[in-house]
Amino acid sequence: MIIIQSFLQALGQIGDPRFRKVLLLGVGLTFTLLVAAYAGFLWLINVLVGEQATLPILGEVTWLNDLLSVSSFLLMMILSVFLMVPVASAITSMFLDEVAQAVEDQHYPDLAPAKRIPFGDALQDTLSFLGVLIVANLLALILYAFFAPFALFIFWGMNGFLLGREYFTLAAMRRLGREGAKKLRAKHATTIWVAGILMAIPLSVPLVNLLIPILGAATFTHIYHGLSDNRP
């Protein structure tokens, strides 16, 4: 199956010094963005509820003090199940091109140089995807309330669709352009959705999820080449 093969190829490249450098940078930035998202969450709780707000594990929320506490770290790991989805989306514009180039240099050396997507365009696309992702997850809270036993499956299915769409589009745009990426994505929508779900599931696992954005970028680069009509 192309998805499993692509993931194993991405995993097998961890020993490559160039890939490992990007991976470590990606993990560091992913953790930084996760902490920033969690800090924003604590700040918002204080603003909306006030100083008397209490949370499980933390008790009364005092924002900065709690942000630096051990119990806060534990709660952040739990909340990372939800926070890592927008973080994984946000990180694509920063590292996907570097990851894809490292993958292609290792596994597809005969390809012509890819068209580098300007950072501004990539950032615009990522912010657009991120906005859709956040709105969709907020609306999904209604579904979670009505279909509580299936909430996790709804979460995986919806975010798998959105993340798969984003990662594949950005990987394919490097060689096909925006319109070509959309056409190829539509042609293989089911495969991309399943790959996205298999990316969303480990994003729900604390600590493991720190590795997923970069490995996901590498995996979707392989998936693109496996599905492309222009394979050498």
Give all strands (DSSP E) within the chain, no chain letters.
54-55, 59-60
Q: Which of 118, 83, 102 is nearest to 19 (CA)?
A: 102
| pLDDT tens per residue across all 232 residues of the chain | 899 999 999 999 988 888 888 888 888 888 888 778 777 776 766 666 555 555 444 455 554 455 545 556 676 777 777 778 888 887 777 788 888 999 999 999 888 888 777 767 777 777 888 888 889 988 888 888 889 899 899 999 999 999 999 999 989 998 998 899 999 999 999 999 999 999 999 988 888 888 888 999 999 999 999 998 655 4
Q: How far apart are CA 123 and CA 101, in angstroms?
A: 18
Long-range contact list for 79-84, CB < 8 A, 24+ apart? 79/38, 79/41, 80/34, 80/38, 80/206, 80/209, 81/203, 81/204, 81/205, 81/206, 81/209, 82/137, 83/34, 83/37, 83/38, 83/41, 84/30, 84/34, 84/203, 84/204, 84/209, 84/212
Q: Tell me the C-alpha to C-alpha distance, in Å, between residue 78 and each of 38, 207, 212.
A: 11, 10, 16
First-to-last alpha carbon distance for the chain, in angstroms, is 20
Q: What is the DSSP string of 83-128?
A: HHHHHHHHTHHHHHHHHHHHHHHHH-TTSPPPPPPPHHHHHHHHHH
Instruction: Show the tokens assigned to 79.
Output: 């909340």
Torsion of CA 105, 33, 163, 131, to 10 degrees: -130
In the chain, where the domains are located: 2-227
Strands 54-55 and 59-60: antiparallel
CA dihedral for 98, 217, 212, 108, sign (positive or negative): negative
Residue 23 class from Cβ within 10 Å (0-12 exposed, 13-18 middle, 19+ buried)? buried
**pLDDT value, residue 58:** 45
Q: How far apart are CA 78 and CA 152, in angstroms?
A: 14
